[in-house]
């Protein structure tokens, strides 16, 4: 099972890309998955993160030129998520999208619950990026 989540954001591509490509910003919007990130925990491209389920890791694979914000999230109790993510400039701002493939051993209902939580995270991202404070 694969789901793609998208959101239109009324801010410029550069502002959104700069925010999303900095892992230190992730706890501000990934409120259900990344509680904190340790700036000094960088190892082989991975940052140590705290999740609701324990210690995990986050690695970003970014290209500003191509609008790529792919990432790998290793959860403490679940699987490693390899998430393709793109940001596309639009006439009114930008469009952000992420595609999630359900890990084989994850129950369908748990995956569906996670997708609902992701909707909340994307709404939080939109609020952050559309305010003048960031």
Per-residue pLDDT tens digits for 97-119: 999 998 888 889 988 998 999 99
pLDDT at 104: 82
Q: Cα(96)–Cα(120) distance, rounded to whole angstroms?
A: 14
pLDDT at 134: 52
pLDDT band at 65 (very low <50, low <70, confident <90, very high): very high
> Exposed, middle or buried, 48 (CB in 10 Å: 0-12/13-18/19+)?
middle
3-24 residue pLDDT tens: 999 999 999 999 999 999 999 9
22-56 residue pLDDT tens: 999 999 999 988 889 987 666 678 898 988 888 88
Which two structure tokens, joined as six digits, stand for 133? 């404070």
Question: What are 73's strand-pairing partners?
Answer: 58, 81
pLDDT at 8: 96
Residue 98 phi/psi, 5-degree rounding, is -135, 145
Domain boundaries, the chain: 2-129
pLDDT at 77: 72
pLDDT at 70: 96
Is the pLDDT confidence value at 95 over 80?
yes
- The torsion angle over the Cα atoms of residues 118, 122, 128 and 130, rounded to 10 degrees, is -170
Q: Is 3 helix (H, G, I), strand (E, B) or coil?
A: strand
Q: Cα(94)–Cα(11) distance, rounded to whole angstroms?
A: 6
C-alpha distances in Å from residue 75, one per residue of 71, 92, 110, 120: 13, 35, 14, 19
pLDDT at 67: 96
CATH number for the segment(s) 2-129: 3.30.530.20
Q: Is 52 helix (H, G, I), strand (E, B) or coil?
A: coil
């Amino acid at each position: 099972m694969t789901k793609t989540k998208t959101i239109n954001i009324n801010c410029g591509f550069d502002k959104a890309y700069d925010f999303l490509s900095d892992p230190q910003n992730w706890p501000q919007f990934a409120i259900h998955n990344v509680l904190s990130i340790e700036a000094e925990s960088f190892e082989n491209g991975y940052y140590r993160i705290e999740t609701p389920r324990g210690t995990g890791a986050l690695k970003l694979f970014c290209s500003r030129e191509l609008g790529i914000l792919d990432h790998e999230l290793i959860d403490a109790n679940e699987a490693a998520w390899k998430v393709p993510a793109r940001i596309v400039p639009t006439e009114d701002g930008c469009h952000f999208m992420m595609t999630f493939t359900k890990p084989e051993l994850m129950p369908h209902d748990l995956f569906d619950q996670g997708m609902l939580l992701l909707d909340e995270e994307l709404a939080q991202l939109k609020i952050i990026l559309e305010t003048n404070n960031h």
